[in-house]
Structure 1
Amino acid sequence: MKPLFTIYIALITCMACAQKKNTSFTSPSHYNLNEPQQMVFPSELEEVSGITFIDGDPNRLLAQQDEQGHVYYLRAGDKSAKHVKFAGKGDYEDIAISGSHVILLRSDGSFFTFPLQEQYDTEITAVVSEKILPKGEYESLAVSSTNNNVYVLCKQCNVDKKTTQTTGYILKLKADGQVIKEGSYSIDNEEISKYVKLKGKAFRPSALTRNQKTNEWYIVSSINKLLVIVGDDWKVKEAHSLNPKLFNQPEGIAFDRDNNLYISNEAGDTGEATLLKFDYKEKGV
């Protein structure tokens, strides 16, 4: 009986360890980041680096990957996607919709905009391209429906060297597709450290979106494996460590019209790019 008793104790101990490990990955109210509905992107989107929905409709998903100047359109969970070319090869990192225009961000801080109605053409010719941001690396782009301003976050910018902040820029998209800079803001990395340990690393955002229901900004970082939530004043309200088994390379984030949360992963060394859906739960999780 002694060997069986020993095995029983070992199993109980392992279960306790697993439960303890599981609870180390927390979630914001109304979402359970540990239990997603997982969908696989088509193979042409293995390097997916940004996602957005037209009018919040999950059947009208726009995505782009960080090597080709293509915008892909599909339904969440589709096995294939159509695309339209807007530019040549480049390191494109995020996508958003501002009014009647699609806007894309290249990693060097350049913007590419075109009318939303042209997304179904074979190639877009009415593209406005310009670089107006300071030297740095950028991956996060979002639009606020309350004022239609465009928001960008630095991933790694010269202005943030030797500081504990992450700088962002506020822009406005004009009717002709031109982007103009209107202001700036910053997120204090030390505020993030109150919730999770950055382990000596600077905060490196890889995607940004706005929760229209709560008026909060949700920011994901692939390098830090974090989801950070800030208010309209850009003060940190929450930060959650992400399970690397689910979030191997999170590069895109968006909400649909029902306030469900989506986070996209590049394939990386897993072989498949994924779209993770987290259902909104009224009473939380």
Structure 2
Amino acid sequence: MGNSPSSSKYFHLRINVRSRSSLARYRYNSPGIQEDKVARCIRDDFEDIAIAGNRFFMVTSTGKLYEFSEGNNLEHVQAVIYGTAVEAFYEIEGLCYDPARDELLLACKIKSKTKNEKRTEEKNKLQTTDRLPVYAFSLKTMSRLPLPRFLLDRRAIARAAGRRSFRPSGIAFEPTHGTFCLISSRSRLIVEIDSSDGVPLSFMSLPKKYHPQPEGIAFLSDNTLLVSDEGHVHGTISLYGNKNS
């Protein structure tokens, strides 16, 4: 990964971002539902966005996957919704595109239980409190693969990184090495994992001074690292890149 905030070889830049309460100007058109003549604003708990070529995707915490195309400024565009079938056990926290397999990766967290809600364990015993799945969604079949791409041992990751806990809040494809990076807001930590088996390769701490609540992660084509933070008044985007690039 290499883009350490403490390294003198890299610069750090923060950009203030005004927050918006909803995703505006996207219209959905699901099979069997008559399309409205007037475009409607979609309001939902969106967690992340990914781009695969000229295809745009956004995912909600309950696993609704919206596909749409890029529009002009203030233009309405249609969106198609796909289910990911994770909402019974997990909530989605992150989304990214894997160009090697033409798949979207979905980073999960354990779904919070209400007092009167009891959940049954999955038959394959994949759902545990220690292991969190990263599922793959095929863009060829437009469906989620049944078994997780990775199972993350969050306690082992936390111990190796010297943290009390690890819970992913975002995921990104690292273009230089072909690995994946997960960000944990509570731990202020980025973990790089191997693309074949999900084994942790490196760790990057995020200073509290710059990152009060780091939630999102992305890489540009030149490997510049972007980290987004939530805020009470406005959010911020931090860039980590090589001074000589």
Query: TM over 0.5, yes or no?
Result: yes
Q: Normalized per residue, which structure has more helix? A: 1
Matched position secondary structure for 1:191: helix
Unpaired stretches in structure 2, ≥5 consecutive residues:
27-38, 112-118
1:274–1:71 Cα change, 3 Å: farther
1:115–1:272 Cα change, 3 Å: closer
Matched position secondary structure for 2:5: coil
1:207 aligned to 2:170?
A: yes
Question: Which string of whole-angstrom CA distances, capped at 9 and with x for unpartnered residues, describes residues 192-222 of structure 1?
Answer: 13422342x4x32111101111111111111
1:38–1:213 Cα change, 3 Å: same
Tell me which of 81, 93, 96 is aligned to 1:142: 96
1:255–1:162 Cα change, 3 Å: closer
CA contact (8 A) 2:19 2:234 kept: no
Aligned equivalents of 1:235 and 1:114: distance in 2? 33
Q: Alpha-carbon deviation of 1:120? A: 4.3
Aligned equivalents of 2:74 and 2:15: distance in 1? 27
**Which one-letter code corresponds to 1:180 in the other structure?**
S
Aligned equivalents of 1:219 and 1:70: distance in 2? 27
Q: Alpha-carbon deviation of 1:191? A: 3.3
Tell me which of 127, 133, 137 is aligned to 2:85: 133
Q: Alpha-carbon deviation of 1:161? A: 5.5
1:170 aligns with 136
Aligned equivalents of 1:277 and 1:138: distance in 2? 25
Q: Alpha-carbon deviation of 1:86? A: 7.7
CA contact (8 A) 2:175 2:221 kept: no
In the TM superposition, what are the counterparts of 1:6-155 in structure 2 within 5 Å?
A: 28-29=1-2, 31-34=3-6, 36-41=12-17, 43-45=18-20, 67-70=21-24, 87-116=41-70, 118=71, 120=73, 122-125=75-78, 127-134=79-86, 135=88, 136-155=90-109
Question: Which string of whole-angstrom CA distances, capped at 9 and with x for unpartnered residues, describes residues 211-246 of structure 1?
Answer: 111111111111222111101121111223322221
2:116 aligns with none
TM-score (norm 2): 0.76
Question: Which string of whole-angstrom CA distances, capped at 9 and with x for unpartnered residues, describes residues 121-157 of structure 1?
Answer: 62122x1113223222111000012222110010224
Taking only aligned residues, the RMSD between alpha carbons, in angstroms, comes to 2.7
CA contact (8 A) 2:131 2:151 kept: yes
Aligned equivalents of 1:155 and 1:216: distance in 2? 21
CA contact (8 A) 1:188 1:235 kept: no
Aligned equivalents of 1:102 and 1:195: distance in 2? 35
Matched position secondary structure for 1:36: strand
Q: Alpha-carbon deviation of 1:114? A: 1.0
CA contact (8 A) 2:25 2:74 kept: no
Aligned equivalents of 1:146 and 1:119: distance in 2? 29
1:274–1:86 Cα change, 3 Å: farther
Aligned equivalents of 2:192 and 2:231: distance in 1? 25
Tell me which of 174, 187, 193 is aligned to 1:224: 187
Question: Which string of whole-angstrom CA distances, capped at 9 and with x for unpartnered residues, describes residues 98-136 of structure 1?
Answer: 2321000101111111123x35462122x1113223222
CA contact (8 A) 1:195 1:240 kept: no
Aligned residues: 212
CA contact (8 A) 2:192 2:200 kept: yes
CA contact (8 A) 1:192 1:239 kept: no
1:272 aligned to 2:244?
A: no
CA contact (8 A) 2:22 2:42 kept: yes
Matched position secondary structure for 1:70: coil
Larger Rg: 1
